[in-house]
Amino acid sequence: MPSINTSATDVTFHRWSDMPKEAVTDQISRRLVTGQGMMLAHVYLAKGAIVPKHQHHNEQITYILEGALRFWIGDAGEQVIDVRAGEVLHIPSNVWHKAEALEDTLDVDVFNPPRQDWLDGTDAYFHNTK
């Protein structure tokens, strides 16, 4: 078995409740944990919150812990999928999608690679939502 070039100092520990929430809009906030090749996010959405139509090169897995999101998939939103607590949606790279919170929702998003636009604040499509 090949050796892995990492050390104990590369290991990080996070507790969601100790992390500050980043306000994305007045209805959406998030907490992020980022590694070299993936990102894990808690996204908090108030009922009625909209994530506008967008696409990204990052593969995405969304797991709903509480609440429900309605997704419109495709450039014209031709596929509608409601994802509820305990359910998971996989969105491949470069697929157009939009979401609306059907109720107060907490979701876990996993991205590969990490969303650089979330890290550097260039996700204006998201922040400009009302």
- Give the H/E segment covering residue 97: strand 97-101
**DSSP string spanning 16-33?**
GGGSPPEESSSSEEEEEE
Q: Please give the model's pTM, rounded to 2 decimal places.
A: 0.90
In three-state form (DSSP H/G/I as H, E/B as E, the rest C), the secondary structure along 41-88 is EEEEECCCCEEEEECCCCEEEEEEEECEEEEEECCCCCEEEEEECCCE
pLDDT of residue 54: 95
* 41-57 pLDDT, tens digit each: 999 999 999 999 999 99
Domains by residue range for the chain, with CATH: 21-127 (2.60.120.10)
- For 65-117, the pLDDT digits (tens) are 999 999 999 999 999 999 999 999 999 999 999 999 999 999 999 999 999 99
More confident residue, 10 or 30: 30
